[in-house]
Amino acid sequence: MSQKNVNLCWNIRGLNAAARRASVRNTVTSSGATIVCQETKIAHWSTHLVVDTLGQRFARKYMAFLASGTRGGILIAVDEIFFNPHNCSTTEYTVSADITLLL
């Protein structure tokens, strides 16, 4: 397994629509992204929604600052094959994590 760090940061509208989530998932797959930072207006992220938006490799290692009304949120997700997030935290306006490369 080669080590891989491909970051994808994207501000896309309309993630409540299945077609838009499929478009994001296709971009994540085709770009080979291993770390995704997504601005979002989604108020609740579930594992199913993460898989639908980013793909199965991101299903277990994600953290989110949830949207509230018109105030946007942020989703950070990492490919479980390459990374492990820890020290995850949120504040009133941020989400952060230490991300360790798996060897």
Instruction: Say if 94 falls within a structural domain.
Output: yes
Q: Could you report the per-residue pLDDT of 45-100, keeping only the tens digit for each?
A: 999 999 999 999 999 999 998 888 777 889 999 999 999 999 999 988 888 999 99
Rounded average pLDDT over 6-13: 84
Which domain covers residue 93, as residue numbers?
7-101
Q: How many domains does the chain have?
A: 1
- Position 6 confidence tier, pLDDT thresholds 50, 70, 90: confident
What pLDDT score was predicted for residue 93? 82
pTM value is: 0.88
Say which CATH number the domain at 82 has: 3.60.10.10
- Which one is predicted more confidently, 28 or 9? 28
**Is 13 inside any structural domain?**
yes
Q: Which CA distances in Å does 8 have to 15, 29, 47, 62?
A: 16, 11, 19, 14
| pLDDT category of residue 2 using cuts at 50, 70 and 90 | low
C-alpha R_g of the chain: 13
Residue 4: is its pLDDT beyond 80? no
Q: Please enumerate in sequence order all residues whose Cβ is within 8 A of that of 51, keeping only pairs 6 or more positions apart, or say none.
A: 58, 59
pLDDT computed for residue 78 by the predictor: 97
